[in-house]
Amino acid sequence: KGVIAGFQRASGDRTVTAVVFTAMGDKAFCTGGNTEEYASYYARRPNEYGEYMDLFNAMVDGILNCKKPVICRVNGMRVGGGQEIGMATDITITSDMAV
């Protein structure tokens, strides 16, 4: 929800010229969802899984609809949901550690 709000705020802020979307640390940008959690929790709660995916999709839409250029800054791995996030940005800049 914070990422969605941040992209909406940045999109409408005249002082923002571009958005850099990155992660903390040097091990990964995003390694995707927690498949163990999906199997143990969401498998029995399809409505909650749908709500979770609605939020994820709204985040990707927030990136796609941002009126400013969005740069994906990647350190480490970008797989699964991280790849979907990265593909929604305008350009990716990677470190030597990116995979």
CATH at residue 2: 3.90.226.10
Overall number of domains in the chain: 1
Three-state SS at 76: coil
Of all residues in the chain, the percent with pLDDT exceeding 90 is: 62
Q: 23-80: per-residue pLDDT in tens? A: 887 778 887 778 888 888 988 899 999 998 999 999 999 999 999 999 999 988 888 8
| Residue numbers of the domain that contains 37 | 1-98
Count H helices, E strands: the chain?
4, 5
Task: Say what the pTM is.
Answer: 0.86
